[in-house]
Amino acid sequence: MRAKTAKVVLRLMGWKGVGGPAPDKKCIFLGVPHTSIADFFVAWVYCRSVGMKTAIIVKDAFYRWPFRRLLDRVGVIHIDRTHPTGTIKSVIDAFNSRDEMVLGLAPEGTRDAVKNWKTGFHTIAREAGVPVYISFIDWGTRRVGIGERFECTADARADLVTIQKMYKKMGVVARHPKNFVYLDEVEKSE
């Protein structure tokens, strides 16, 4: 999809794109919150609207007929989730072998409510030496965009807390709010 077409599609869907493409040729942007398959479509159309081609990770279950050809066109990296360390190494190798790569990831790792976000994005960012962008899909305001740049430290847990605080401050609303839980809310309930 061309940028002009994507801008029209985004507008017809009732969404407003905020900001432009990621300024780095290699980076990870977090697609948060991720509670619906529609989140992927909104984010993908936004990325196309600002001229950005992104890579995404998709589980093998989706990578089959009739979706395989479409998924190849939109830039997926398909993975076998039974071997998570191999997945992370494959993505790091992809970053190291390419001149440009913008990877969109959902740190929740699923569309269901989770108590802990996955740290794979953090490991990939640190090992590949790429920044992370605090991107958002806000169903409350119907705004989507790539936000602040975040440099991961050696402390993944502290970084997750900081990143979640950033999202909480932004006030993003999930399509299915019951499926989006902040870490501090989990700690309060335990």
Interval 7-19: pLDDT, tens = 999 999 999 999 8
* Helix, strand, coil distribution of the chain in percent, nearest 5: 45, 20, 35
Q: Tell me the whole-structure pTM to 2 decimals.
A: 0.82
Which amino acid is residue 190, in one-letter code? Answer: E
Interval 26-49: pLDDT, tens = 999 998 888 888 998 899 899 999
Domain count, the chain: 1
Give the structural domain span for 25: 3-189
